[in-house]
Amino acid sequence: MSDPAQSLAVKRAQVDFHNFASLGEPERALAAYADENMRRGSILRTNLDFIGSLTPFLEVGANAGHTSYLLANDFQADGFALDLSADALRHGQFLREAWHMDRGVVLTAGDATHLPYRDNSLAFVMSFQTLSQFLDVESVVREVHRVLAPGGVFYFAEEPVRRQLTLRLHRAPYPDRMKPVEKWFYESGLLDFVAMDVIGADQEESFGIRQNHRFGLREWSHLLHAYFEETRFITFPRQRGWANQIVKSLARLGPGNAEARMADWLGATLAAFCRKAGELPPGLGTAAALACPDCGAALPMADEGPLRCPACPYEAAYEAGVFNLLSSTLRAELYPGPRADTLDFSKDGHEAGLISGFHEVEGDFGSKYRWIGARAAVRLVKMRPGLPLLRVQGYAPAQCFEKGEAKVQLRANGQDAGEWKLDRPGLFILETPLPEAEEYTVEILASPVFPEPNQKAGEGRQLSVNLSLLRLLPRE
């Protein structure tokens, strides 16, 4: 199956990434999500004059659903949170409990390019840091316009507005993974002048998420005015460091719109409110909003499922608080259940593929992992036609780099499959093609090995890196 906006490989990467990133380190995630809600809610409050109604709403690319919970509880709105990752939505229910929120939302796994909602059924749609993850942004905007009722409003915040003043030479990690020289350039603002795209984008790219950073203000304006009757733009230009401040001062000297010029030169986060032509009809609600993702017929709501289409065999179970409303074909690809070609340590049943060298499972929600020492081994069985690609997802702690060079080597059925030098602490993704075989014994060899921190000499485990996912994928 082919989707020009987002390939199947990228969709798999999205599911893996959001499962991993949604609530790893829950206390840190709580603080980050609360900060995002404060900023998004503040922008929303100052623009309520533009919006007719917030009910029913839809959040596209909701991740853990934190901003949907904000709308439900601070604004008393009813609606849906949608993400490609059912696991991220499932994990996000922890936020509602931790924040003591009374009101929930309908959690739906779904595809932004084929939204499982009826035409003209929603009063308000919002999306944050999502549109840039599609090579064809218009395909998502078109779907949003379809499901919005006349007079409905689309609110999104997106980074980046394409920065003009950069050489696009270096893809920089998030600040907590920067080397000291990168961190100095980042704090001064000079890193922005050589950055290939958004600071931190390399983490998503390493997962296989291909991002679209081609849109400047003119491109955004052209696209949105093609679909919406009225738009309101708010830009937040990049301002960190003295280097960016100098450019900001120069931008204010010229004629015309200085804010737009700063956003164009420095890059920016763009917040936009876009109203669909027409008058908002009365009586909109969540009960009549869903559509079958297979045939498009109205899909009757049920409190705790399953949801059954009256026009075709489609059915969506209610799985730990989430309705999986992906099309039957895509759901079978992204959520096939336990498979012998995948070891995901956040899923039950992965233990069957372990051979040796792994310690017990640790971590929270989708960020579950197993430490290894110098060597570990697993068994993976090929289940798709064609030559496979081996994908290994792991994490290298700072201790790996205290004794010199950190390396990971892979072997498959006794043959070398690649060796990688790790250059910084943090997440790593390794991918390598494998020869044809019915099944593979995969060995992971890592160095250096260090004693478990805070243990007495001669006691505790010997560790190297930890792993969270091993998978055989088709070469695409």
Predicted local confidence at residue 458, as pLDDT: 65
Q: What is the pLDDT of residues 391-404, one digit of tens each?
A: 999 999 999 998 78
Burial zone of 254 (CB within 10 Å; 0-12 exposed, 13-18 middle, 19+ buried): exposed
The mean pLDDT value for 87-93 works out to 96
Helix spans in 392-448 (H) = none
> pLDDT tens digits, residue range 9-37?
899 999 999 998 899 889 999 999 999 99
Confidence of residue 298 (pLDDT cuts 50, 70, 90): very high
Q: What is the pLDDT of residues 108-121, one digit of tens each?
A: 999 999 999 999 99
CA pair distance 444, 25, nearest whole angstrom: 26
DSSP 123-192: EEEEEES-GGG-S-HHHHHHHHHHHEEEEEEEEEEEEEEPPSS----B----GGG--HHHHHHHHHTGGG
Quick one: what percent of the chain has pLDDT higher than 90?
80
pLDDT in tens, 132-170: 989 999 999 999 999 999 999 999 998 878 999 999 998
Among the residue ranges 60-64, 81-85, 133-137, 377-381, the one predicted with the least confidence is: 133-137
Q: Across the chain, what does the average pLDDT equal?
A: 93
Q: What percent of the chain has pLDDT over 70?
A: 99
Specify the pLDDT at position 1.
45
Give me the residue label for tokens 């790593």: 428
The pLDDT of residue 457 is 65
User: CA 308, 311, 317: angle at the middle one, nearest 5?
Assistant: 15
Residue 6, pLDDT score: 85
Lowest mean pLDDT among 5-9, 216-220, 274-278: 5-9
Domains of the chain by start residue, with CATH: 8-288 (3.40.50.150), 342-474 (2.60.120.200)
pLDDT tens, position by position, 177-203: 898 999 999 999 999 999 988 888 888
Confidence at 3, pLDDT banded by 50, 70, 90? low
Which helix or strand (DSSP H or E) is residue 462 part of?
strand 462-463
- Residue-level pLDDT at 212: 84
Q: Which residue do the tokens 């955004």 mark?
A: 220
Using DSSP bridges, classify how beta strands 406-412 and 466-474 pair: parallel, antiparallel or unpaired. Answer: unpaired
pLDDT computed for residue 404 by the predictor: 80
